[in-house]
Chain A
Amino acid sequence: MSETQNDNRSTGQGTSRRAFLRGAAATGVGLAASQAAADGPDPLITEKQDWAMSLGEGVDETPYGLPIKYESDVIRRNVPWLTADPISSINFTPIHALDGTITPQGCAFERHHSGAIELKKEDYRLMINGLVDTPLVFTYEDLERFPRVNKTFFLECAANTGMEWAGAQLNGSQFTHGMIHNMEYTGVTLRTLLEEAGLGAAGDLADKWVYVEGADASSNGRSIPMEKALDDCMIAFKANGEALRMEHGYPVRLVVPGWEGNMWVKWLRRIEVTAQAIESREETSKYTDTLADGTSRKWTWVMDAKSVVTSPSPQMPITHGKGPLVITGLAWSGRGAITGVDVSKDGGKTWEKARLANPGAPMALTRFYLDITWDGEEMLLQSRAHDDTGYVQPTKAQLREVRGENSVYHNNCIQTWHVKSNGEAENVEVSS
């Protein structure tokens, strides 16, 4: 055990979770560390440390900083076997290691169809055409002159947790639930821009659509019903206070609150008012849900209520032994605000109410906590979200009963972690 401990101290480097876990699981190092004081004075206190005597970095050292090196394992990760190629692919937010609700852009998951492009603000153009009174072209500067709004929303890929449909597959909340992020966006409402072009030419808006597409080589395009477009969609150019990162669509992306991430077109270059859905590749061959009888649901845009325990979890084992334990996780609903989260420690036999860190906000992540005294017993840890429509997150069995076993997208089932008495956790599926 002292090896792991010594490694940590002597190098000052954070070992990876998994490496740490091996030590912890084998020897109970976490327990031993917390008892160290009983064996004598802690040298971290009694001995003068370098950082307490010498000087640190000056203010001119890091004009724009990254997290401290000890957090270098809090990064996006991908699963190479999922896709043919890392350019048209996806990675995962390290939700297991984050807290609160805002996702830093630098570790927020990415999904590109032809890679993340570098598009300068000066080269950016946004066109509105189709059934509008005056087709318009905006520059980036134009967009900044419209009245602005600030809103926080989650973006979840419809395929999040899709790999778990057939059974427990990936061992970690980052991989099972990490196709999600939550940011505060600054921008202009889509309604403002549509009204600037004028919707008189569209006639009755009830059956009209808005087709949106990106400027990258995939030129990903999606059709959005006019009602949604006029309700709450945003043209965003800032996230979490700063410019969008390249991988999130710099300089401008679309925000479609509560609806699947594929519709949030990045590098947005064109908005067209149409009389019909375009039925693009991404709304027919992909992002449709095949049921047991072979027919498929389409236009399944909204992301239903969902939650996951982020810690403890396979990447976040309990290393401190028995006693006070913080169980925490995230909950969200594309149909409204989270009103409550239940946690089960026995695989769904009994449920208790977790504490929401803040009241749920519509279509944004909500953090929950359950503070317990862990006596070292095994747990089958689950969470279950409630939203303000009265919807309660279902089990995988309930979803399969309706949809069959060939679905990929929109898997919002209850997740189970098997937490063992040594603190390790594993992704498992349990009987219903």
Chain B
Amino acid sequence: MSKFLPKLILTTALSATLAMPAFAEKFGLGRAALPEEIAAWNHDISPNGDGLPIGSGSVEDGEMIFSENCAVCHGEFAEGVDNWPKLAGGDGTLADKDPLKTVGSYWPYLSTVYDYVRRSMPFGAAQTMTDDDVYAITAYILYSNYIVEDDFVLSNENFLEVEMPNAEGFITDDRAETEYTIFTEENACYENCKEVVEITKRATVLDVTPEETTEAAAEPVAEETVQVAVAEEAPAEEAPVEVAAAAFDEALAAEGESVFKKCKACHQVGEGAKNRTGPVLNGVLGATIGHVEDFKYSNDFLDAREEGFTWTEENLIAYLHRPKAMFPRTKMSFAGLKSDDDIAAVIEYLKATTQ
């Protein structure tokens, strides 16, 4: 431990203080944490298995749960979609240029997978999985990395038996020995430090710097913007409330907003919405399928567009119920909404946000 600590920490004064916490002044603030409260939050899991809940999950179950909850970003085979993390593959690439770091090729502890999935995933619906589901997902990620067979069942009992391929691949920070001894005052040069200096790389050649977006914002547009804003506000004030009320059910739309959290990781809707992993959903109701111009749809969608398929409320209900039953090759690997009420609510929300 002392290896990586700054020198000052090893002084006797501080060591003495470390050993004497009982002498510290108490203020009597706060209250005792109840066991139920600690149980509700204390979910971290250590490499030695401390903190693992009792439970189990199979690769087989994991495949289904992963497909429904994770594949939309991580891919059906944990291979990753777009810029989202790849969870499988990359063995033996760590010493290559641009190594592929996945659970299989890089993560040293399986406890980290369980801990992270349970606390942070799925993105946009964290802490909604059961402990057994998390075991199953963890098992499936192991399977997708060829670390276990397809009949494997992971549990708190056999958890520590799983060997992670890169478990021995880490060393503790060694900069003190390998760098701090070189990058020193003694070695700093001031005069004639090199004979020639040539430019070897230029950022403008790569040209990956975002274009200045403020040109529009900072130019005299400011006044126009104000006018536009006023123009938009005015009809809203004048518009009779009945018009809005007739178009959608506000309470139902509010419920739908909550349901839409499941969609939000991939879809945006409303003012300023942009395409993300999924297309922007403004005006989807009543539109021809695949109507967002700059989104790359699946062939199923493009074929349906040829045929003039329209997102009627009925079609949308059917699709949201089981997307893949309607379009087997849809890019949306969302399992579907089980509850009819949720579907009705989210459609109402789409109506409301597109008003």
Complex contact B14–A69 (CB within 8 A): no
B119: A residues at CB distance < 8 A:
213, 218-219, 221
B45: A residues at CB distance < 8 A:
278
Chain B residue with Cβ nearest A204: B19
Cβ proximity bits A418-432 to B, threshold 8 Å, 1 near / 0 not: 100000001111111
Taking the closest CB of chain A, its distance from the CB of B271, in whole angstroms, is: 16
Q: A393 vs B183: C-alpha distance in the bound complex, in angstroms? A: 7
The secondary structure that dominates the B interface is loop
Complex contact A129–B30 (CB within 8 A): no
Q: Which of A47-55, A70-78, A318-326, A365-373 contacts B (4 or more CB under 8 A)?
A: A70-78
A5: B residues at CB distance < 8 A:
none
Top 5 nearest A-B pairs (CB, nearest first) are A294-B95, A195-B24, A347-B197, A294-B94, A84-B83
Q: B4, B115, B179, B215: which contacts A280 (Cβ < 8 A)?
A: B115
Q: For A200, A220, A284, which residue has the most chain B Cβ atoms within 10 angstroms?
A: A284
What is the total number of residues of chain A having a CB less than 8 Å from a CB of chain B?
124
Tell whether A85 pairs with B265 under 8 Å between CB atoms, given A145-B27, A279-B111: yes
Q: A16 vs B202: C-alpha distance in the bound complex, in angstroms? A: 23
Q: A73 vs B216: C-alpha distance in the bound complex, in angstroms? A: 10
B218: A residues at CB distance < 8 A:
13-16, 72-73
Q: A77 vs B212: C-alpha distance in the bound complex, in angstroms? A: 9
Complex contact B22–A198 (CB within 8 A): yes
Q: For B14, B112, B213, B276, which residue has the most chain A Cβ atoms within 10 angstroms?
A: B112
Q: Does A245 contact B (CB under 8 A)?
A: no
Complex contact A294–B41 (CB within 8 A): no
Q: A42 vs B119: C-alpha distance in the bound complex, in angstroms? A: 64
Taking the closest CB of chain B, its distance from the CB of A256, in whole angstroms, is: 13
Known: A127-B38, A225-B4, A349-B197. 20 other contacts (CB 8 A): A16-B215, A18-B215, A72-B214, A129-B41, A135-B38, A145-B27, A171-B204, A196-B27, A200-B21, A202-B21, A218-B126, A227-B9, A230-B17, A230-B18, A279-B46, A281-B115, A294-B99, A296-B106, A300-B175, A302-B175
B14: A residues at CB distance < 8 A:
227, 230-231
20 residue pairs from A and B, CB less than 8 Å apart: A15-B219, A16-B218, A17-B212, A85-B84, A137-B31, A169-B209, A196-B26, A218-B120, A221-B115, A227-B9, A274-B44, A285-B101, A297-B175, A298-B173, A301-B173, A314-B203, A349-B197, A426-B203, A428-B201, A431-B200
Complex contact B30–A136 (CB within 8 A): yes
Cβ proximity bits A353-390 to B, threshold 8 Å, 1 near / 0 not: 00000000000000000000000000010001010011
Cβ proximity bits A137-153 to B, threshold 8 Å, 1 near / 0 not: 11100100110000000
Complex contact B106–A418 (CB within 8 A): no
Cβ proximity bits A236-272 to B, threshold 8 Å, 1 near / 0 not: 0000000000000000000000000000000001101
Q: Does B246 contact A (CB under 8 A)?
A: no
B29: A residues at CB distance < 8 A:
138, 142, 145-146, 196
Tell whether A285 pairs with B222 under 8 Å between CB atoms, given A84-B83, A294-B95, A426-B202: no
Q: A43 vs B201: C-alpha distance in the bound complex, in angstroms? A: 46
B98: A residues at CB distance < 8 A:
406
Complex contact A295–B196 (CB within 8 A): no
A213: B residues at CB distance < 8 A:
44, 119
Q: Which of B58-66, B148-156, B185-193, B232-240 contacts A (4 or more CB under 8 A)?
A: B185-193
Tell whether A284 pairs with B108 under 8 Å between CB atoms, given A145-B27, A175-B209: yes
Q: A164 vs B150: C-alpha distance in the bound complex, in angstroms? A: 42
Q: A13 vs B225: C-alpha distance in the bound complex, in angstroms? A: 14
Interface residues of A, Cβ cutoff 8 Å to B: 11, 13-19, 69, 72-73, 75, 77-81, 83-85, 88, 113-114, 127-130, 134-139, 142, 145-146, 167-172, 175, 194-196, 198-200, 202, 204-207, 211, 213, 217-221, 225-228, 230-231, 269-270, 272, 274, 276, 278-281, 284-285, 288, 290, 292-302, 304, 314, 335, 342, 346-352, 380, 384, 386, 389-394, 398-399, 402, 405-406, 418, 426-432
Chain B residue with Cβ nearest A92: B210
Tell whether A221 pairs with B44 under 8 Å between CB atoms, given A16-B212, A295-B171, A429-B199: yes
Complex contact A431–B30 (CB within 8 A): no
A81: B residues at CB distance < 8 A:
83, 208
Interface residues of B, Cβ cutoff 8 Å to A: 1, 4-6, 8-9, 14-15, 17-19, 21-22, 24-27, 29-33, 37-38, 41-42, 44-48, 50, 73, 82-85, 94-95, 97-99, 101, 103, 106-109, 111-112, 115-116, 119-120, 123-124, 126-127, 169-175, 178-180, 182-185, 187-204, 206, 208-210, 212-215, 217-220, 222, 265, 276-277
Complex contact B107–A284 (CB within 8 A): yes
Taking the closest CB of chain B, its distance from the CB of A245, in whole angstroms, is: 21
Q: B15, B95, B169, B200: which contacts A206 (Cβ < 8 A)?
A: B15
A13: B residues at CB distance < 8 A:
218-220, 222
Q: A185 vs B17: C-alpha distance in the bound complex, in angstroms? A: 25
Taking the closest CB of chain B, its distance from the CB of A367, in whole angstroms, is: 21
B8: A residues at CB distance < 8 A:
231
